Structure 1
Amino acid sequence: MPDEGESCEELLNLLHQRLVATGEWTVLLGQLRNMLEEDGWDVRLREHAEKEAKAQEPLNLASLVAKLDPYAQSTLPESVRAAISEKLREFLDRNLEDA
C-alpha cells in the first residue's frame, strides 16, 4: 500500500502535467507574476535578497535561497494566494468533469 505522502505527490505531479498540457500553467504563472508586481512583492523580495546577499561572507547561493524561501512564503499576500487557489479550484472542477 503506497503511503499517503507518495499518493499526494503523485496527484500533484498529475495536476502539474495537466496544467502544462492545457496551457493553464503558463496562464496562471502570468497572472501570479502580474498580481505580485502590482502588490510590489517582487520589489520587496529583491530588496530583501540584496540585503541578505550583502550580509553573507562568502556569498553562497544555496544558503541565500534557504533564507529567502521562508521570507517569500511568509510575505506572499493572502489576496494573491486566495486568487490563485481559486483559479486552481476552478481548473480542477473543469477537469474533474472531463475525467
Structure 2
Amino acid sequence: MTDIEQQFAQAQIDVKQLPERPGNLTLLRLYALFKQASVGDVEGEKPGFTDIAGKYKYEAWSALKGTPADTAKQHYAELVESLKRGDAS
C-alpha cells in the first residue's frame, strides 16, 4: 500500500470521528473527492430536479472530472486533516 493510499484509508476512518459535523458544502466536497478517488469520473445521467440531493452530489463529483485518483485521495486526506484541526467547516 502506498503512502497516499494509507493516508486515504486513515482519512476514511478519521472522517467518521470528527468532533462536529461539517457543513453541507464541505460534505459535498468530501463526497465528490471520495467518489473520484475510489470510482473515477462520474458516470450516468444527472438526476432530475426532484432529486435535489442527488443532483448536487452529481454536480460536485462531475466538477472533478479528469482528476487523477491519487490527486483526489490526497485532497480528501488534506481536507479531513483540516477538519480535524478545526481549520475548515
Shorter-chain TM-score range: 0.3 to 0.5
TM-score, with length taken from structure 1: 0.32
More helix by share: 1
Higher RCO (CA < 8 A, seq sep 6+): 2
TM-score, with length taken from structure 2: 0.34
